[in-house]
Structure 1
Amino acid sequence: MTRSDGPDIFSPAKLGPVRLRNRTIKAATYENMARDGLVTDPLIDFHVAHARGGVAMTTVAYCAVAPDGRTDGHQIVWRDEAMPGLRKLTDAVHDAGAAISAQIGHSGPVNNGKSTGTRPIAPSRHFNKQFFRAVGPATREDITRVVKAHGNAARMAIDAGFDAVEVHLGHNYLASSFLSPKLNRRDDKYGGSLQNRARLALEILHEVREAAQDRLGIITKLNMDDGVPGGFWIDEACQVAQWIEESGTVDALEMTAGSSLLNPMYLFKGDSPIAEFAAAVPEPVRSGIKLVGKHVLREYPYYDGYLLDDALQIRAAVDMPMILLGGVTNKQTMDRAMAEGFEFVAMGRALLREPDLINRIAADSAVRSLCNHNNKCMTTIFTGTRCVLVPQDLPSPIPGESSSTRAVTRVP
């Protein structure tokens, strides 16, 4: 139900135990600025820029709970060696005036095993067309290990100084792939009915809450739909959201959409940069993108607040705090989100274009983002995520990358 008077987007708010200076969050956008799983100065500078730009909290993407939970070999994975750099990162963001969240999860079938040197897992046997290899089904031992790894990640996040974690249940990463009837064809207690397919996600959230208690804010990023026939759909998402609320494990719910495996552009809307993707990767992947790219990287029209109407169905199903993601680029959309009952907004591409956009909107409510949704920022994940419309020196490519170790897209 629409609220006539929502809170001011620039008013302080609490997310679980965390007090935020306003209601804007820098969404997770895979930075590809870590090296060998460790924090670098460019990664710190990236998040400090957003903190100084006015967001209440910036989200570090993507921090894998296990080595086989990465999508590529350079991603941060929770381990002792990473802790000094993570603490340096959180201290720097705090000094810049913002809170900081770590996106935690397991990539499952999105893992590029050749890059990570690990065995990808999925709910059922799956052939990954991006990497041209089959992925085997997760064993019960794999499932137990992954659930416990999420709890360990939450404990390490606390020790590293993070204010919150965002548990990744979207984009057909492992937990999301279990939710999907298209990808999950198991006949045990983790497959079949929605209750069974949601079991892994709920076990992960229980483990994170048990580990974090009230020392971290806990967000979960949940798909509303996979964007493919036979995939997870919004009616099931409403039920899963209700189960999450009943479990008491989460402080805020952020709804997303699309599949890194099956339909990556479904989340982003706007232009599909097929030529730029092809130029960013070596042969033979380049030729493959040119040949079939329009079938894999489909275009969807962009409009402000493009996930709002679907997210309102979830909003009507639960009472817990929610974060609106998708096409939040101006004060008008922010105000509408607040009026519709959302407590926070998350912003991605608009802040890549202008890290100081929040400060500028706070000073002048008529300011609108310069982002034109050409989505060419997606192709920069191979060299360090950025807006291509902002002139700057490019970071060095990942050493030793080849066509067999690069993904076409990674959706945080």
Structure 2
Amino acid sequence: MTISLPPDVLAPARLGPINMRNRIIKSATFEHMSPGALVSDDLIEFHRAVAAGGVGMTTVAYCAVAPEGRTEADQLWMRPEAVPGLRALTDAVHSHGAAASAQIGHAGPVANSKSTGHPALSSSRRFSPMGARMVQAATLADIERIRLAHGDATSLAIESGFDAVEIHFGHNYFASSFLSPNLNHRDDRYGGSLENRARLLRETAAEVRRAAGNNIAVLAKLNMDDGVPGGFWLDEAITVARWLEEDGNLDAIELTIGSSLLNPMYLFKGEAPLAEFGAIMPPVMRAGIKMFGKYFIREYPYQDLFMLEQARQIRDAVEMPLILLGGVTDKEDMDRAMAEGFEYVAMARALLREPDLINRIAKDHHARSLCIHCNKCMPTIFSGTRCVLAGTGSTND
């Protein structure tokens, strides 16, 4: 009898058609370092530092597939003018031995239409707190245009030197808004039954694979649940994951949770930085956050591997490679993920605190992350994403 041992998370691995030096992925975190919706030197340095720090692959976030698909005006969107800067970024990442992934997608109702100057689109018409405006229901023509735009963005990612693309199917962005019974009130072929609500995801994944061929890996970030009453939940996520596996267009799925539109802290866990959010807002919004912020920016207790319990149920349902996200901070967490049957792990906050954390772990398997999950990095997405404690040596607030 042969006993199969879990893979070594620090050893080289294959993801679809690409080779990675290890199984650790820097997950997508909007950097706010793309003035004019183009790559800046700061954005290049952000990903160069993470690559030099030892990850197997770093994910550029967020690369919108259309102008109205940005969450705000100074966010990358995939067009020919963006290619030279993106090529400089991927060259910098490759020079340190890491792979580069572009997270592509459409923000849908999470877009701030006041900032982008374009109407925000969703599965159905609704009010959005992002731009304090109504979000329009996408027409069938909009859906087709956005699906094709994912293919165009994939072609541009290949031209820019990316090794992978990750399709954003989570957080109540455009595709995720179709999955959600809370948000999707359509009565056409994209609404009603789960098969209809999942149609957009499956068609988009097929378009991305068509454009990608076998040149780059194709990943998707998929919600397991929205954390919203009446929203998309784990039982339906299991079925959708099975359909995506059957379709055969993805090389891996990164599992996630939460709604950037309705319950953002559900994804992050840990302290809710209400004071820090209030400090960067205009006076009227600051007053609103002070009075009502705790109802929108809710606080959830943090624990290591906080998505594992839900992710196990997806793991039991499919055989395709899965990426475990959520509270991965040290080698012990990574080894546990491998033992549970996950092929890769993804990290975000811990790498904001220490871009070189993976190199530290490779040298000392008992090394611990300095991230304290205070979430004070969250408000910095409006000014350049960073850990506010980095370089201080502080281990408390």
* Class of the TM-score when normalised by the shorter of the 2 chains: over 0.9
Query: Is the CA contact (8 Å cut-off) linking 1:4 and 1:339 kept in structure 2?
Result: no
1:125-144 paired onto structure 2 within 5 Å = 125-144=125-144
Matched residue type, 1:32: H
Alignment deviations for residues 356-381 of structure 1 (CA, whole Å, 9 cap, x no partner)? 00000011111110000000000101
Q: TM-score, normalised by structure 2?
A: 0.97
Q: Percent identity?
A: 64
Structure 2 residue ranges without an equivalent (≥5): 393-397
Aligned match of 2:169: 169
Query: Is the CA contact (8 Å cut-off) linking 2:50 and 2:58 kept in structure 1?
Result: yes
Alpha-carbon distance in structure 1 between the residues aligned to 2:351 and 2:92? 19
Alignment deviations for residues 100-157 of structure 1 (CA, whole Å, 9 cap, x no partner)? 0000000011110111111111111110123211111000000000000000001110
Task: Say which SS state the counterpart of residue 58 (structure 1) adopts.
Answer: strand
Q: TM-score, normalised by structure 1?
A: 0.94
Aligned match of 1:228: 228
Q: CA deviation at 1:391?
A: 4.8
- Please provide the CA RMSD for this pair: 1.0
Query: Is the CA contact (8 Å cut-off) linking 1:124 and 1:137 kept in structure 2?
Result: yes
1:372-411 paired onto structure 2 within 5 Å = 372-391=372-391
Bigger drift between 319-328 and 126-135 goes to 126-135
Aligned match of 1:264: 264
Aligned match of 1:305: 305
1:186-197 paired onto structure 2 within 5 Å = 186-197=186-197
Query: Is the CA contact (8 Å cut-off) linking 2:90 and 2:100 kept in structure 1?
Result: yes
Alpha-carbon distance in structure 2 between the residues aligned to 1:72 and 1:315? 35
Task: Say which SS state the counterpart of residue 37 (structure 2) adopts.
Answer: coil
Query: Is the CA contact (8 Å cut-off) linking 1:101 and 1:164 kept in structure 2?
Result: yes
Q: CA deviation at 1:256?
A: 0.2
Query: Is the CA contact (8 Å cut-off) linking 2:158 and 2:216 kept in structure 1?
Result: yes
Q: CA deviation at 1:238?
A: 0.2
Aligned match of 1:341: 341
Aligned match of 1:87: 87
Task: Say which SS state the counterpart of residue 215 (structure 2) adopts.
Answer: coil
Aligned match of 2:51: 51
Aligned match of 1:205: 205
- How has the CA–CA distance of structure 1 residues 290 and 4 changed in structure 2, closer, same or farther, with 3 Å as cutoff? farther
Aligned match of 2:395: none
Alpha-carbon distance in structure 1 between the residues aligned to 2:123 and 2:191? 8
Alpha-carbon distance in structure 1 between the residues aligned to 2:8 and 2:117? 48
Give the paired residue count.
Answer: 390
Aligned match of 2:325: 325
Alpha-carbon distance in structure 2 between the residues aligned to 1:68 and 1:229? 27
Alpha-carbon distance in structure 2 between the residues aligned to 1:284 and 1:16? 49
Alignment deviations for residues 34-87 of structure 1 (CA, whole Å, 9 cap, x no partner)? 110110000000000000000000000000000010000011111111111011
Aligned match of 1:107: 107
- Runs (4+) of structure 1 exceeding 4 A deviation are none
Alpha-carbon distance in structure 2 between the residues aligned to 1:276 and 1:93? 32
Task: Say which SS state the counterpart of residue 337 (structure 1) adopts.
Answer: helix
Alpha-carbon distance in structure 1 between the residues aligned to 2:116 and 2:391? 31
Alpha-carbon distance in structure 1 between the residues aligned to 2:119 and 2:15? 36
